[in-house]
Structure 1
């Protein structure tokens, strides 16, 4: 039975998201009607083009994703906490519109937009401040579509010939030599933490095909990294929190050791293991926010972190060379009953000198 969550973006929210507008630098938002497909269903949607990127309202995307993306794990509702001035994105809930809310139309004139400062949560867990960039236009908050798709585990492609954005919920799969049906390598993200401001080059040697990179890979990433992990991409001059890639065709999965975890225990398990390996709360919270919808509704999950085989299939060449690096790639299978498996020993990262952290994962069927 579908679960419904009312969308609580009320007029109260409109006032709170825009209250600091006068103190913030204004940018220009250009109104645009953009065709978007949702698992093949076409919809012409209103959005704003800001600095070359398309920004959409959460309520508009929530409606179309609930109605037309087949897999329920990509659906989301939205609620607003007036006391905390925060928006809560409710993953795996269906969107239900609130009756009586006045329809918003973007019109045809360019408008002023200011950077949103409303805190975002996912199922109650706070996201890092810079996780999703939003802009407030006429009291409404608009978010970058690619950021939202990344959060929801959706594939997003631009069809230049038809000028259409394509969103799909289907995860590409392939079969390894052991007969495992494996999803693509999903959301590996790379954090760079030098001891001082440093120009860094990152190259990825991947056995499969890269399907998405952000920022654009262009035969390698060249960035200036700050000690707090902030990255400035040399190609476009923009600021990023990490380097992101996905790919098809990753190598063999090894489940000879691992963990059997109840779906309902996913959060506590990942918090415990990821923090023990040396990941910061920011890093493991971003990991959990992404993977929780894939794990929590399963009776049990067989989880095994891939190490040497992952390093061989997705080599990272980083200049200057890091002093310490942790690459966490989680493979998992949904299972109906618990099974016996030797418990996996996990490494511990020493965060000294130039440190690199990467996390990603894949689902095996």
Structure 2
């Protein structure tokens, strides 16, 4: 597991940003921030074709237990659509915000029931302060505990399950798809949510179409099984996609003073792998490069990696890269260590999460 100790010395004004600006100039010179319209045209066409094909298969299979296989296939497709919505939110696909937002509402809200506006706001805050206990919503102790400090002040459900949360992590992921949808609906009550009417209409249309199609084709028992399998596998896939990126890496606190480059690199982890890993994780296996350059199109992340890795080495900044299984193992170990004090074993010394 990565060293969870981060230097807490302030960065001088002259040094702040300078290390990143040098890297940024090189990336721009290489054209790695340029749009990749052909790649995204093919990717969008492929995902949409699979989405439509999955529902056509659902209609053709009809009242049969073979629908469980259709549910599994659609879970993969839903996750891939979620990854596509992620790229849209970062402005990787289109140059301007309006087409990105329209496509995001179609893919996210209407397609898979994920509130594009709510999730974009949440994810933007994560990128600004990754793995920061006070500012990153992805390490807020809503259900899981990510550090010993959070364990000490935990209450309710996080405290109840915190001691054994590593063993419960994957079972809990089966609820993640449902959790994201419920959070999207709850966000509609916020007056500050942008384009709230569009968000509401597209989410409601998704629910009516999704549930209407399932219960129109299947009897109640099979319909419920289909929904359970589909949503469970969808949640596990998404969780397995995002968990390797930061979990088990250093958690920042208000005492940490890091410049942009170090804040992004030291809290992120890359996952090694070939084309299959790239496709399955939607390019998020290049998490370090993605956090440094969020608007960089997915296929360019691989090309940026050697440049970023060389730059980090020249600065003495640790660049963490591991295999997929090992990344999950590191995340589980950090969860187990974070909840050590809740198992009656004394205060945990881990600060990773």
Task: Tell me if TM exceeds 0.5.
Answer: no
Higher helix share: 2
Higher strand share: 1
Larger relative CO (CA 8 A, sep 6+): 1 or 2?
Answer: 2
TM-score range, shorter chain: under 0.3
Normalising by structure 1, we get a TM-score of 0.23
